[in-house]
Amino acid sequence: MTAHGRGCRVLALLLTLAACAERPSDPRSAIAVTIPVARAVRLDVAKAVTAGRHFEACAGLKQRILAKGAEPDWQALLLVAARDPACLEAGQGEQLASFFRGRPGWLDAVGEWDAAHDAAVDLATLSAPSRLRVLLRNGDQRDVVTAAEAVLRADADDPFACAVVVEDAIERGELRAAVESCPGASSPALLHARAGALDEAGRFDEAVSAYDAAGYTLHAAAILYQEHRSRDAEALARMAEPVPPAAIHRGWLAILRGRAPDLAGLDGSPEATMIRALAGVPSAREALPSLGTLQARVLHARLVGDAAALESDLAGRPHSEVLLRAALGIRLDGGLDTAATLTRIRGLDPDHVALAATFGRREAPWQAIVPWTWVALRARLPGLESQGQDEVGERWRAALQLDGSAREAELDALQMDHPELRGLARLRAGGLRLDGPGASR
């Protein structure tokens, strides 16, 4: 053999050794010995993965790995660990991803793992479900919804993609579509989203039933005591558990009924701080501005009697009926001049104000934070009415003159142009008529 030939063989051997040295070793055996042996239970792992029951899926996969260690189970384990960090130690997941990166069958699991750890991912290499998961971490809303629709074209009942589509419909004010989408699909997230859409639509009894059926009894309780004064006993029965979320709702129930809330069991959440502030705890009242939420700012303005503190929020939300009620109520209760606030309200389109109704979160109910209703305010100020006109109000009134599908099409277009009109969304979904400042015309 020539010196040149021997040199080539040596070079090839060195390159092979270098490649072997750089290549990580298969970590599966080392990971498997760290998996504790658990009592055997029968789990439908595939269904748990699809439904997003990560704890159940992780436990079932580890059980199967201990039994036979098939490669698809390891792929699924890394996939679940990408979605739920509690499934695997970060170092173990990284070892799996590093060893199997680029190998057939591992593209989804490694891609989702990389995305979960802020690494770049080639979306074109992923299946539609994994592409959706990755886009949810760093894609814009339109791309996310497009990816969800691609998943649903292959599987119309994929629960994760359905939940994405339903949440998007809620955000756009398409509450009826949110309730009616994916009738054959079921998962905790999807059931929660559907029930939330029914709640925002003002279909309260249906929402209570939907939350109860999905096991979200506290959500059902919140609707009962906030919307049905006569059903407090039913609500309290659902709030008996000694946990902070239940204590928060028991606190709001007491406040709405004019009673001092029980502060025992409250945690350090913003909602608990607001309850303490309403109960007269000075430190809680002082902490309200630092909570950074609109509800906390409005409550602070109410408790210190400073309606002027709402001006910056009103400037950004001039038709917010809850802010208008707060500004007027704070001035009335404090014996302050209401002339400027009345002038502001009179210049607004009353239908626009009603259509912009804010329903907020059940965990921090506006009716407890801003207790003045339009009915009560009009009783104290007989001249309280609006006479302005704007594009939203004019389009609404014009649509009401139409019949059937023509009216529906006009209201659909108005909602599309103004997704912030949550009151309009409620009406279009079959909800209740809205209150407002009243009109002079």
Q: Write out pLDDT tens, residues 329-355.
A: 999 999 999 999 999 999 999 999 999
**Statement: residue 3 has pLDDT above 90:** no
Dist CA 153 CA 377 (whole Å): 51
Q: What is the pLDDT of residue 16?
A: 43
Show the tokens assigned to 398.
């014009």
Cα distances (Å, whole numbers) of residue 272 to 19, 268, 392, 412 = 58, 6, 37, 38
What is the share, in percent, of the chain residues with pLDDT greater than 90?
A: 80
Mean pLDDT confidence for 186-208: 92
Dist CA 15 CA 137 (whole Å): 39
Q: Tell whether the torsion through CA atoms of 415, 418, 420 and 421 is positive or negative.
A: negative
Instruction: List, in order, residues 6 or more apart from 48 with CB less than 8 Å away.
Output: 54, 56, 57, 60
Q: What is the pLDDT of residue 253?
A: 98
CB atoms within 10 A of CB 7: 11
Instruction: List, in order, residues 6 or more apart from 204 with CB less than 8 Å away.
Output: 198, 223, 227, 228
Q: Which amino acid is at 265?
A: G
Dist CA 295 CA 395 (whole Å): 30
Phi and psi based region of residue 281 (left: phi greater than 0; alpha: psi -120 to 50; beta: remaining): beta
Q: pLDDT of 52-100, one tens digit each?
A: 889 999 999 999 999 887 899 999 999 999 999 999 999 999 999 999 9
Mean pLDDT confidence for 22-41: 83
Radius of gyration over every alpha carbon of the chain, rounded to an integer in angstroms: 28
What band does 382 get if pLDDT is binned at 50, 70 and 90?
confident
What band does 8 get if pLDDT is binned at 50, 70 and 90?
very low
Q: Which amino acid is at 43?
A: L
Q: Tell whether the torsion through CA atoms of 398, 420, 320 and 379 is positive or negative.
A: positive
Q: What stretch of H or E contains 163?
A: helix 159-171
180, 172 Cβ separation under 8 angstroms: no
On whether the pTM is more than 0.85, the answer is no
Q: What is the pLDDT of residue 17?
A: 42
Dist CA 187 CA 110 (whole Å): 25
80, 57 Cβ separation under 8 angstroms: yes
Q: Which of helix, strand or coil describes residue 236?
A: helix
Q: What is the pLDDT of residue 5?
A: 52
The Cβ-side half-sphere exposure at 31, using a 13 Å CA radius, reads 24
Q: Which range has the worst mean pLDDT, 9-13, 63-67, 294-298? A: 9-13
What band does 22 get if pLDDT is binned at 50, 70 and 90?
low
109, 79 Cβ separation under 8 angstroms: yes
**How many residues would you count in the chain?**
441
178, 162 Cβ separation under 8 angstroms: no
374, 329 Cβ separation under 8 angstroms: no
Q: What stretch of H or E contains 259?
A: none
Residues paired with 439 in a beta bridge: 386
For tokens 């917010």, the residue is: 320
Show the tokens assigned to 310.
């709402």
What band does 20 get if pLDDT is binned at 50, 70 and 90?
very low
Show the tokens assigned to 375.
């009915």
Largest CA distance in the chain: 110
Interaxial angle between packed helices 244-256 and 270-278, expressed in degrees from 0 to 180 and rounded to the nearest 10: 30
